[in-house]
Amino acid sequence: MKIRPITGAVGAEVSEIQLADAVDDPQLTAAIDNALVDHGVLFFRDQDLTRDQHVAFGALFGEVHIHPYARNLGPAHPEILEIQSDQIDGFLDWHVDATFEPRPPIMSILYARETPDYGGDTLFCSAAAAYDALSSVMKGCLDDLRAVHTSGAVFGRGGSYAVDPDSPQTTTVHPLVRVHEVNGRRVLYVNSQFTADIEGMHADESRLLLEYLWRHITHPRFQVRFSWRPGSVAMWDNRQVQHAVVADFSNVPGRRRMERVAVLASPA
């Protein structure tokens, strides 16, 4: 397994590996896990994963997440979230997967089954590097705050990805600054898709601070961009990375069909 960092902030390309082999190789699994913590997001090319292998690979790292709202592959593979071209319109907001959950996923593994001829890239950014870049005064202001995350704006009535808009929505509160349990880095844990407000602040104060943080976290100096082709895999650490897809392929030949498995944090 060879690892090649792509930027100074986040992301590495991993070669000379087939992820399906990790299911029977604990040392390889540990090496992938360590690389993920070090680089935030890993990119693999030319993978050949069945759906069972995709789920089994995710299960090596913890309990596999079943999304409470989004479209999955049904009874045979409820753990796999299906993401197709017709679900994406324009730029999908920067986000961390399912932060509205009390126990959100720690990692996500996205596999490209079909891709357009060009376009449809995914951007990733390091919310850990973004925290590190703040002044000590700003860090002191943020460290003890807590933020409210909700599914409603995306999956509730009027939400852009509502499957059953009348289903009960989920709201939870997380520290605005989280400490990564493995590498100890502090991370700005707010995202424009699911974070609604900051506890204890007036609405206008909360909105101003959140909008500043969202702009700061997603600054280009904290980013990496990945171009897909069939068989590509991106595996990212939701504890320290945000992502967004660029939906610039509506008139491009071919369709974008992706499948995602996510892994939950260990129970408290």
Assign 170 to helix, strand or coil: coil
Catalytic residue ranges: 95, 97, 243, 260
State the pTM of this model.
0.95
At residue 266, the pLDDT reads 82
Q: Please say whether the beta carbons of 149 and 172 come within 8 A.
A: yes
Residues of the chain with pLDDT under 70: 86-92, 156-165, 268
At residue 136, the pLDDT reads 99
CATH classification (class only), 2-264? alpha beta
Q: Please say whether the beta carbons of 189 and 176 come within 8 A.
A: yes
Element spanning 188, H or E: strand 186-188
Assign 179 to helix, strand or coil: strand
CA 225 vs. chain centroid, Å, equals 14
Token pair for 255: 């369709």
CA distance 88 to 250: 9
Summarize pLDDT for 58-103 with one digit per residue, the tens.
999 999 999 988 888 999 999 999 998 765 655 468 999 999 999 9
CA distance 110 to 249: 18
CA distance 169 to 153: 9
CA distances from 164 to 211, 248, 257 (A): 29, 27, 22
| Length of the chain (residues) | 268
Q: Per-domain residue ranges for the chain?
A: 2-264
